[in-house]
Structure 1
């Protein structure tokens, strides 16, 4: 387990899980949100994002946190382990609400500098629809992956997994 991707709906806790996994494994952690966003919520081009991801994929060890569905196939090709946080819609929706309320106006550690947490109705709608619109596609990609796949259906399952790991 040296090349890991973390997938799941917004609000599932991908970043929280990835921080804990990085601490347990000692592997370097990369957040796709930090790659995609620039100060003031300006996104980079597809080519720039792809180049940044490919730079990470060339390394011997990594954890990559985030979906960015278009880039999942390139990451699946290079990873040896996938964690998919496949939680119910309400869990994820309220995860986003809790995150926004707890971090409003502050930049989270998994986000690019100059991108403070904000209330975004469009993002809440995306989160609400994520499971229905994205889940089947993600599961289909995982079926064909040549990697160890872990699918957690609850935060408790993910926590049990992390608690069972030995710290490196």
Structure 2
């Protein structure tokens, strides 16, 4: 467990789980939202974003959290561990609401990740399992056959998986 890709809907817990796993293996976590968007929510050029990820995954050890299906193969090809947080929409929306209250829509501690809750984002979260999850599963099947793939469908299963992965490191 040296190269970990964490994928999932907004509010699924990618950042929380990623931070814990990064601490376990002693590397910083890369939050793709903080890379892709600037502080005014301008997007990075897609080619530059893909090239940056190629550089990130070339390292021997990393933890990267983020969805971005268009560049997911870059991470999946090199990951030895893939965590797909495929949680129900209501669970993710609750996670987003809790995060919003905690950070008041601002930056999450020092991660560089900011909340930006829009109606479009809420619709994306609501339809994620129907629209995006099948694509993510397909990409995992195609590009991560070599990896330890963990598909997590509840907060309880996420806690159990973290315990198992932490034990595997020791």
- Residue ranges of structure 2 left out of the alignment (5+ in a row): none
Contact 1:10 1:127 in 2 (8 A): yes
2:40 — aligned with what?
A: 40
Shift of 1:63: 0.7
For 1:13-162, list aligned pairs within 5 A: 13-108=13-108, 109-112=110-113, 116-144=114-142, 145=144, 146-162=146-162
Shift of 1:48: 1.6
Shift of 1:28: 3.0
- Residue ranges of structure 1 left out of the alignment (5+ in a row): none
Task: State the alpha-carbon separation in 2 of the partners of residues 70 and 40 from structure 1.
Answer: 22
CA RMSD of aligned residues (A): 1.7
SS of the equivalent of 2:132 reads helix
Task: State the alpha-carbon separation in 1 of the partners of residues 162 and 74 from structure 2.
Answer: 26
Change (3 A) 1:80 1:118: closer
Change (3 A) 1:117 1:14: same
Q: So what's the TM-score if we normalise by structure 2? A: 0.89
Task: State the alpha-carbon separation in 2 of the partners of residues 102 and 118 from structure 1.
Answer: 14
Identify which range, 88-97 or 7-16, moves more after superposition: 88-97
Q: Deviations over 1:4-38 (max 9, x none)?
A: 10011111000001011111221331110111011
Task: State the alpha-carbon separation in 2 of the partners of residues 141 and 51 from structure 1.
Answer: 19
Contact 1:104 1:119 in 2 (8 A): no
Identify which range, 157-166 or 135-144, moves more after superposition: 157-166
Aligned residue pair count: 165
Change (3 A) 1:118 1:34: closer
Q: So what's the TM-score if we normalise by structure 1? A: 0.90
Shift of 1:143: 1.8
